[in-house]
C-alpha cells in the first residue's frame, strides 16, 4: 500500500514540476527560464527537479508514452499488416488522450518547434519510441530492419501530423491529421 501511495505522489510531483516548467517556458521563454526558477515555483529544490527530469530538455520532452504505446501495439492482432497495426495504435492513442493532456502536448510541441535545442533532442525521442515499438513487435515473424522501417515510417507520419497540428495552433484534431498522414503512406505503398 505504501509503495502505491509513494508512486502516486511521485507521479503527481513529476506532473506538477512539468506543468510549472511549461508555464514558465511559455511566459519567459525556454532559454530565459532556469531550473532553479522552476524549482522555486513548485516549492522544491533544484535537485528534486533533476531527480525527476535529468536535463532541462526532459522537462519538455519527457513523458510516459513509449511503454504504453509499445504495450498497445503488441496487443493488436498479430495478423494485421504492420503499418496498420502501428498506425492504428498511434491514431487510437491520440484519439483517447484527455483534453488536458492534448493541451500539454500542444504546448510541448510548440515549444519544441520554436527551440533549436529541443528540436535536436526530438530525434533521440523518436528513436527511443521506434525502439520501444520494434522491441514490442520483435517476435521473430519479421526481420528487425523491416520492423524499424515500418515503425519509422509511422512515426514520421505522426511527427508530420503533429507538427501541422502545432503550427495551426491546434485547430484540427491531431488523431484525424495522423489518420490522414497514414492514409497517404498507404496510398503510396
DSSP code of residue 33: -
Q: What is the pLDDT of residues 120-168, one digit of tens each?
A: 888 888 999 999 999 999 998 999 999 999 999 999 999 999 999 999 9
Answer yes or no: are the C-beta atoms of 13 and 44 closer than 8 Å.
yes
What is the grid cell recorded at 105? 502536448
Going by C-alpha positions, the residue among 187, 182, 121, 175 that lies closest to residue 154 is: 182
pLDDT of residue 93: 94
What is the reported pTM?
A: 0.87
Q: Are residues 77 and 131 in the same domain?
A: yes
What is the distance between the alpha carbons of residues 84 and 54, in angstroms, rounded to a whole number?
Answer: 35
Q: Are residues 82 and 162 in the same domain?
A: yes
Answer yes or no: are the C-beta atoms of 109 and 163 closer than 8 Å.
yes
The residue segments making up the domain with residue 20 are 2-56
Q: Are residues 134 and 165 in the same domain?
A: yes
Q: Are residues 133 and 106 in the same domain?
A: yes
Q: What is the pLDDT of residues 65-96, one digit of tens each?
A: 888 999 999 999 999 999 999 999 999 999 99
What is the grid cell recorded at 113? 518547434
11, 39, 56 — which closes off a domain? Answer: 56
pLDDT of residue 1: 60
pLDDT of residue 63: 85
Q: Are residues 28 and 74 in the same domain?
A: no
Reported confidence tier of residue 189, pLDDT bands at 50, 70, 90: confident
pLDDT of residue 98: 93
Q: How many domains is the chain partitioned into structurally?
A: 2
Q: Are residues 89 and 33 in the same domain?
A: no
What is the distance between the alpha carbons of residues 189 and 184, in angstroms, rounded to a whole number?
Answer: 9
Q: Are residues 77 and 50 in the same domain?
A: no
Reported confidence tier of residue 188, pLDDT bands at 50, 70, 90: confident
Q: Are residues 67 and 101 in the same domain?
A: yes
Q: Are residues 126 and 93 in the same domain?
A: yes
37, 56, 75 — which closes off a domain? Answer: 56
What is the distance between the alpha carbons of residues 74 and 138, in angstroms, rounded to a whole number?
Answer: 9
CATH number of the domain within which 136 lies: 1.10.357.10
Most distant CA pair in the chain: distance in Å? 53
Q: What is the pLDDT of residues 17-26, one digit of tens each?
A: 999 999 999 9
Amino acid at each position: 500500500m505504501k509503495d502505491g501511495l509513494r508512486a502516486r505522489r511521485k507521479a503527481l510531483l513529476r506532473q506538477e514540476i512539468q506543468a510549472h516548467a511549461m508555464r514558465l517556458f511559455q511566459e519567459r521563454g525556454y532559454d530565459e527560464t532556469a531550473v532553479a526558477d522552476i524549482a522555486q515555483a513548485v516549492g522544491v529544490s533544484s535537485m528534486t527537479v533533476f531527480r525527476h527530469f535529468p536535463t532541462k530538455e526532459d522537462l519538455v520532452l519527457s513523458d510516459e508514452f513509449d511503454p504504453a504505446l509499445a504495450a498497445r501495439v503488441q496487443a493488436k492482432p498479430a495478423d494485421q499488416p504492420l503499418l496498420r497495426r502501428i498506425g492504428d495504435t498511434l491514431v487510437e492513442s491520440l484519439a483517447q488522450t484527455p483534453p488536458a493532456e492534448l493541451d500539454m502536448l500542444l504546448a510541448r510541441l510548440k515549444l519544441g518547434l520554436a527551440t533549436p535545442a529541443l528540436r535536436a533532442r526530438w530525434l533521440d525521442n523518436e528513436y527511443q519510441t521506434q525502439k520501444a515499438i520494434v522491441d514490442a513487435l520483435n517476435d521473430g515473424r519479421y526481420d528487425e530492419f523491416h520492423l524499424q522501417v515500418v515503425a519509422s515510417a509511422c512515426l514520421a507520419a505522426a511527427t508530420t501530423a503533429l507538427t501541422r497540428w502545432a503550427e495551426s495552433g491546434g485547430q484540427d484534431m491531431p488523431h484525424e491529421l495522423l489518420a490522414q498522414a497514414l492514409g497517404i503512406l498507404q496510398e503510396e505503398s
